[in-house]
């Protein structure tokens, strides 16, 4: 076990500022891994990546109400702070920031200044979840301002989220390097997610159809199949597996605009969302040149 257990837990902004100033005086590069807790191996993969790129790693754990819709699972979202802290301590994380909503939104959600990335926030998941990416961009911008990291690490499973954050960083001239990490998967191919805990074992097997269709579609694109045909066939096969597909869309990696026939295969990403029972699942696959 690392010799600096127990882990440092920071809850207040002045304490966080002091911690950051000490790292600055020590000339240590700081990486931030923002999370909503209920950590699984995918989150821990992000932490290990952060440790490869920085001298000190801080993980934030905060379930952000601004990114949840009126009928979404804010109240039931799994909160497992004790287990999360133990897992992070075993990895040797330097600090964990666990702010209260009063610290994050001292004037309340309705009075909060917000950050919104246009266009990217309104398509795909943004169309289904209006206001979601406003909440994501706002909390990430606030965390960047609070922690002032040199590096921030995010998973590619939320590909649209990663693109929104990269665009925000560029547009607002933020001095943070954003690193994306490949999705961690179950043996079946199902993308690891905190919401997988809502699924039965049988449902998890059915949910693996999403990744299977992403792989099939990537192969079809590399073999010259038409974009619309690939999308429609995948939607049908996901529905046949017992899921309720929301979208299956082939997009350009750079801006998530719809792919065109003349686009190079290695500039595309296939994104999918589907529901199984009350659980909404998302996944994606970047397409590599054959």
Q: How much is the pLDDT for 2?
A: 43
Calpha distance 3→32 (Å, rounded): 21
Calpha distance 58→42 (Å, rounded): 16
pLDDT tens for the chain, 290 residues long, are: 344 467 999 999 999 999 999 999 999 999 999 999 999 999 999 999 999 999 999 999 999 999 999 888 899 888 999 999 999 999 999 999 999 999 999 999 999 999 999 999 999 999 999 999 999 999 999 999 999 999 999 999 999 999 999 999 999 999 999 999 999 999 999 999 988 888 999 999 999 999 999 999 999 999 989 999 999 999 999 999 999 999 999 999 999 999 998 888 889 999 999 999 989 999 999 997 65
What backbone phi and psi angles, to 5 degrees, belong to 217? -65, -40
In order, the DSSP letters of 128-139 are HSTTHHHHHHHH
Same fold, 8-181 and 194-285: no
Q: How much is the pLDDT for 263?
A: 87
Calpha distance 274→223 (Å, rounded): 26
The 8-class DSSP code of residue 261 comes to T
Annotated binding residue 38: yes
Annotated binding residue 212: no
What's the pTM?
A: 0.94
Q: How much is the pLDDT for 1?
A: 38
Nearest to 244 by CA among 215, 270, 271, 273: 273
4 is catalytic: no
Q: How much is the pLDDT for 92?
A: 97
Q: Give the SS3 label for residue 19.
A: helix
For domain 194-285, is the CATH number 3.30.1300.10?
A: yes
Termini Cα distance of the chain:
44
Annotated binding residue 39: yes
Annotated binding residue 40: yes
Instruction: Please tell me the CATH code under which domain 8-181 is placed.
Output: 3.40.50.620
Positive or negative, the CA dihedral 200, 282, 178, 250 is positive
Whether the upstream peptide bond of residue 6 has omega within 30° of 0, thus cis, is yes
Q: Give the SS3 label for residue 191.
A: strand
Strand partners of residue 180: 154
Q: How much is the pLDDT for 4?
A: 47
Q: Which of 4, 43, 53, 132 is catalytic?
A: 43
Strand partners of residue 136: none
Domain ranges of the chain: 8-181, 194-285
Calpha distance 89→190 (Å, rounded): 27
Which residue, chain included where needed, has tokens 């290695």?
266
CB of 259 within 8 A of CB of 200? no
């Amino acid at each position: 076990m690392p010799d600096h257990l127990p882990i440092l837990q920071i809850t207040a902004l002045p304490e966080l500022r002091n911690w950051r100033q000490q790292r600055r005086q020590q000339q240590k590069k700081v990486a931030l891994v923002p999370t909503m807790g209920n950590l699984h191996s995918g989150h821990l993969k992000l932490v290990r990546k952060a440790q490869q790129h920085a001298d000190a790693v801080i993980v934030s754990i905060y379930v952000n109400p601004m990114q949840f819709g009126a009928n979404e699972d804010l109240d039931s979202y799994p909160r497992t702070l004790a287990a999360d802290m133990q897992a992070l301590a075993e990895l040797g994380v330097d600090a964990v920031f666990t702010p209260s909503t009063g610290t994050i939104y001292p004037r309340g959600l309705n009075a909060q200044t917000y950050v919104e990335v246009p266009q990217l926030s309104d398509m795909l998941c943004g169309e289904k979840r209006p206001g979601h990416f406003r909440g994501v961009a706002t909390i990430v911008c606030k965390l960047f301002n609070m922690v002032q990291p040199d590096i921030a690490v995010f998973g590619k499973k939320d590909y649209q989220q990663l693109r929104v954050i990269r665009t925000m960083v560029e547009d607002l001239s933020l001095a943070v390097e954003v690193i994306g990490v490949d999705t961690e998967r179950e043996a079946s191919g199902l993308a690891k997610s905190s919401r997988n805990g809502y699924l039965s074992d049988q449902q998890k097997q059915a949910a693996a159809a999403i990744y299977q269709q992403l792989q099939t579609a990537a192969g079809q694109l590399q073999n010259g199949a038409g974009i619309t045909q690939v999308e429609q066939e995948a939607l049908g096969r996901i529905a046949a597996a017992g899921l309720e597909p929301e979208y299956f869309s082939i997009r350009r990696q750079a801006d998530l605009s719809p792919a065109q026939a003349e686009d190079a295969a290695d500039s595309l990403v296939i994104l999918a969302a589907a529901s199984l029972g009350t659980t909404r699942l998302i996944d994606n696959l970047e397409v590599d040149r054959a």
